[in-house]
Amino acid sequence: MKLTKWLPYEHFVLITHLKGDEIVQKLQQHVEPKKWLRLPFKKPGKPYEGSVHFGYFNITRIINYRNSFLPEIDGKIIEQFTVTEVHIKMQMNIFVILFMITWLGFTGVATILMAFVSSAVIAPAFMFTFGWCLMLGGFKYESRISTKWLKDVLEAKEWEVS
C-alpha cells in the first residue's frame, strides 16, 4: 500500500514522445503569470498560473472557489534518447502545511490525553478526523484534475515511481 494515498502529496513521472522545448511551448499556451489578486468569478484566460522555463515549471490551477489545499505543481523536464520524462511533485502551500501540522498536532495530542483523563475523547477525535479528511479530500480532488490535465496536454503516460 502506498503511503502517499493517505498524504496530501503526489510524486510521479510522465513519459512523453514530445521534446523538452515542445513541452515548454505547450505548457506556456495554458499557463499565465501568477497574479497576487484575482477578481472572484472573473474567468481567467488560461487554466493554470505560474512559471514555465526550459527544464522545469511551477504551476497552480486557477479556480474560482476557495480551496486552501490546492496543489502546487513542480515539474522537472528530462530529455532521454527516445522519450522525455517529466517528474511531477504536487504538494500544498508551505503555510497550509504548517497550519495543518499545528491543527492535527493539537487535536491528536488532545485525543490521546482525553483518552487517559476522561471519556470525552469523541470531540477531539472528531476534530482530528474532520481536519484530516477535509485536507486530504480537497488536495486529492484537485490533484486528480491536474494529473489528468498534464497527461492530456503533454500526450503522456504515467510511469510509477517507487
Question: Mean pLDDT by 10-residue block, N- to C-terminus, for the chain (162 residues)?
Answer: 81 96 97 84 85 96 92 97 96 97 96 87 94 97 97 92 57
What pLDDT, on a 0 to 100 scale, did the predictor assign at position 112?
93
Q: How many domains does the chain have?
A: 1
pLDDT at 162: 52
Give me the pLDDT at residue 35, please: 85
pLDDT of the residue at 4: 74
Give the pLDDT score at 65: 85
Q: pTM value?
A: 0.91
- Show the domain range for 53: 3-159
Q: What is the pLDDT of residue 44?
A: 75
Task: Supply the pLDDT for residue 42.
Answer: 72
Instruction: Please give the pLDDT value at position 161.
Output: 62
Q: What is the pLDDT of residue 160?
A: 67
d(CA 146, CA 7): 17
- Which residue from 103, 149, 126, 84 is spatially nearest to 8, judged by alpha carbons? 103
pLDDT of residue 59: 98
